[in-house]
Amino acid sequence: MPSVPEADLEHILAHTSGLWEPMRGRNIFVTGGTGFFGRWILESFAFTNGRLGLGARMTVLTRNPAAFAARAPALAAHPHIRFIRGDVRSLECGRSEKYSYIIHAAAEPGSNDFLGTFDTIVEGTRAVLEFALGAGAERILLASSGAVYGPQPPDITHVSENYSGAPDCTRPASAYGEGKRAAESLCAAWHARHPALEPVIARCFAFAGPFLPLDGQFAVGNFIRDALRGGPIKIAGDGTSLRSYLYAADLAIWLWTMLFKGAAVRPYNVGSGAEVSILEVAKAVASSFPGDIPIEVAGKPTPGAAPLRYVPAVARAESELSLRPWIDFPTAVRKTVEWYAQSG
């Protein structure tokens, strides 16, 4: 697969160039560095580290370094990035090093192993916090999720960080959201006991961009997969559900900014406030391909029913950290489609 487009890396650098000085000569530890989030974190670090001459070093925890090296040989051979084999729940490796910063991005959604998902999130976060204390880390970024809010009420158009809703803890499928809630609680408890360690909480919503999985729980990815096969693009529901999407280059800007400038144990929603329906998402994907890609909608809207929503309020990130989506949704879809078309 091709790497992140250089124009996107330049975009990330343009909006983070004033943040990186604290990383000069420092070490950073990353979990979840081989997934969608992780790939953008690694690529943007490698690019910025070289462009600014920071001399920073990154250590990436992965269960299978060889498999990632086969997918990303340039990153695997990068002189300032080291990959170590291990499980985030134990973290017995890498304990001899000191790290100023940690990004904990392990446990992306998608697994139907609900117990395994919960254990990986909770025990993994506990292990990372213990690791951070021993490593002398100053700050840790937790990649949490908008799933912590549970179902978004129909009368709330954009859910804010102050909303106190929660997933239904009796549903096994809530394991991911409940796990992230517990992880955030661990961060708060750890900071109360060890104030020198500052955890920053990034509640992530929905995204588009290169390396987004095409077979998973991501509507944009699934629609691109369908279109690459010639269609039809299949919508399992009635197409009225509302989402919003942040392009991955903007995601990287938000995550790096929060790592360096976010307030400790103060959650920040990460996403876009520009809502679109799932049907509109499918149409945007279809229009990014030549020819006529058909769209099939399995269900029919229920008259008078409010659409399901998963849309964040992002005023806190904007007002406190000067963050916003710089790349709009149609452009995000087009750039994602172009990248996958080039990758074959």
* pLDDT score recorded for residue 95: 66
Give pLDDT, residue 31: 95
Q: CA–CA separation, 330 vs 287, rounded Å?
A: 10
State the pLDDT at residue 108.
66
CB atoms within 10 A of CB 160: 14
Tell me if 235 is assigned to some domain: yes
Domain assignment of residue 37, yes or no: no
Q: How far is CA 258 from the centre of its chain?
A: 13
Provide the 3-class DSSP secondary structure of residue 119: helix
**Cβ 325 vs Cβ 199: under 8 Å:** no
In a 10 Å sphere around its CB, with 0-12 CB exposed, 13-18 middle and 19+ buried, how is residue 69 labelled?
A: middle
Q: How many domains does the chain have?
A: 1
Detail the DSSP E strand segments found in 17-159: 27-31, 57-62, 81-85, 101-104, 139-145
pLDDT at position 144 is 98
Pairwise CA distance, residues 59 & 144, whole Å: 21
Task: Tell me the three state secondary structure of residue 95.
Answer: coil
Q: What is the mean pLDDT of residues 35-39?
A: 94
The pLDDT > 90 percentage for the chain reads: 89
User: Which position has the token pair 């307030």?
Assistant: 263
DSSP 147: G
Q: What is the secondary structure of 262-295 as a DSSP string?
A: PPTT--EEES-S--EEHHHHHHHHHHTSSS---E
Average pLDDT of the chain, as a whole number: 94
- The CATH number of residue 282's host domain is 3.90.25.10
Cβ-Cβ contacts under 8 Å for 59 (sequence gap 6 or more): 27, 28, 29, 30, 81, 82, 83, 84, 94, 97, 99
Residue 198 lies in a domain: no
- Give the separation between CA 27 and CA 72, rounded to whole angstroms: 21
Arithmetic mean of pLDDT, 95-116 = 84
Specify if 312 maps to a domain: yes
Residue 138 predicted with pLDDT over 70: yes
Confirm whether 215 is domain-assigned: yes
Q: Which domain holds residue 227?
A: 209-245+273-344
CA pair distance 237, 311, nearest whole angstrom: 18
Cα 263 off chain centre by: 19
Within-domain flag for 119: no
| Element holding 198 (H helix, E strand) | strand 198-204
Please say whether the beta carbons of 91 and 133 come within 8 A.
Answer: no
| Whether the predicted pLDDT of 2 surpasses 90 | no
Distance (Å, whole) CA 259 – CA 24: 15
Position 129 in a domain: no
- State pTM to two decimals: 0.96
For residue 1, what pLDDT is reported? 59
Mean of the pLDDT values across residues 156-164?
A: 97
Are the beta carbons of 124 and 113 closer than 8 angstroms?
no
Residue 238 is assigned to a structural domain of this protein: yes
Between CA 49 and CA 12 the distance in angstroms is 12
Can you tell me the mean pLDDT for 282-304?
95
User: Looking at residue 93, what is its pLDDT?
Assistant: 61
Residue 306 scores a pLDDT above 90: yes
